[in-house]
Amino acid sequence: MPIVHELIVEQYGAFVSKHQGRLRVTLKSEKVAEAPLMHLQQVIIAARGVSLSSNVIAACCEAGIPIHFVDSRGEPFAGLYSPGLTGTVLTRREQLLAYRDVRGLAISCALARAKILSQAALLRYTARYRQEAAPEQYEQLDALAARVAGHVDELAALEEPDIDAARERLLSTEGRAARYYWDGWRALLPEGYGWPGREGRGAQDVLNSALNYGYGILYGQVERAIILAGLDPYAGYAHADRPGKPSLVCDLIEPYRVPAVDRVILGLANRKTSLALDDHHRLDEPTRRLLAEHVLGRLDKPERYEGKRMPLRVILQNDARHLATYLRGEREAFEPFTASW
């Protein structure tokens, strides 16, 4: 029987209870899911009208298991954690101080570099399989990948004293690289999808909605890694501070969008897997369930990292810890994971 790392509750009216070392989900008194607490890493509540017993909350807090709440578009709107996970001091002091010195800029550039190189790697990876069957498409994708990767040099040229001074140039570089990357998607996707280009919140098409939902699922994983590393999810660098915005989550998620979500959505689309919207232009329940399963499953797949192969979810946690040690002065540089296939 496979080990369950995440319990996803997406049925309206479901009830989550604790039963003999397990979390049990029932709907109209019928058991629909169960997961042992000993293996569980997070609980995702992805539907309205779900009830949790206080025993569930207590058990998850005692075991360090976060409970994330996301809406039908994958947007996180709440999270429950044990207060002990947020009790670190030294790391957070350095995290805040880094905003005003070169460390904040170095972190932002490292994450942007990893994201851009991962985008280029995915285009090259997908182009490889078209080299003989569709040589024109191969050349187009290879050229777009080169344009995406070319923006890394702009990051190396940033010499401002802190991230506040460099933010506009850094975000401009990321944005221009992303335009070439999403142009590559137009060449990769089957014609029937009518790819309109990348759209974030409020997207009306199924592929952008799928990407947004997948990023929402990934968001919870990143937030968990940050908190377990003793960092403050709301004190980021490249993403400007705003009340209620977990800026560090928005920063650290960037290199992981491509390997954990983009690759999954491209694969499903090219296999012509059924992805559907409901009458309100939101992903229907079967599609949300499918996406959550595939994104979380992708996090269990091994990738090359520091000379080894390890699951992507472990790499993410290591990156968060490496960021914390860099901030404390125990590591000379912060070099986040970069996807390569």
Reported as a single tens digit per residue, the pLDDT across 297-308 is 999 999 999 999
Distance CA 201, CA 180 (A): 20
Could you tell me which of 118, 124, 121 has the C-alpha nearest to residue 138? 124
Residue 67 sits at φ, ψ, to 5 deg, of -115, 115
Which amino acid appears at position 315 of this protein?
I
Domain boundaries, the chain: 6-65, 90-327
Give me the half-sphere count of Cα atoms (radius 13 Å) on the Cβ side of residue 206.
22
Is 1's pLDDT higher than 60? no
The three-class DSSP label of residue 334 is coil
The predicted structure's pLDDT at residue 320: 97
Place of tokens 């403050």: 232
Q: Which two tokens stand for residue 252?
A: 């650290």
Is 251's pLDDT higher than 70? yes
- pLDDT tens profile 124-174: 999 998 888 889 999 999 999 999 999 999 999 999 999 999 999 999 999
The predicted structure's pLDDT at residue 161: 94
Query: Mean of the pLDDT values across residues 111-117?
Result: 98
Contact 327, 94 (CB under 8 A): yes
Q: CATH classification of 6-65, choosing from 3.40.50.12780, 2.60.40.10, 3.100.10.20, 3.90.1150.10? A: 3.100.10.20
160: left (phi over 0), alpha (psi -120 to 50) or beta: beta
Instruction: Select the more confidently predicted residue: 50 or 48.
Output: 50
Contact 283, 277 (CB under 8 A): yes
Full-model pTM: 0.86
- pLDDT tens profile 304-326: 999 999 999 999 999 999 999 99
User: Which string of b and e fits 296-333 if b means at least 16 CB within 10 Å?
Assistant: bebbeeebebeeeeebbbbbbbbbbbbbbebbeeeeee
CATH 3.60.21.10 matches 90-327: no
Residue 99 sits at φ, ψ, to 5 deg, of -60, -30
Contact 71, 30 (CB under 8 A): no
Q: With cut-offs at 50, 70 and 90, classify the pLDDT of residue 87.
A: low
Distance CA 91, CA 70 (A): 28
Share of the chain above pLDDT 90, in %: 70
Residue 16 sits at φ, ψ, to 5 deg, of -110, 125
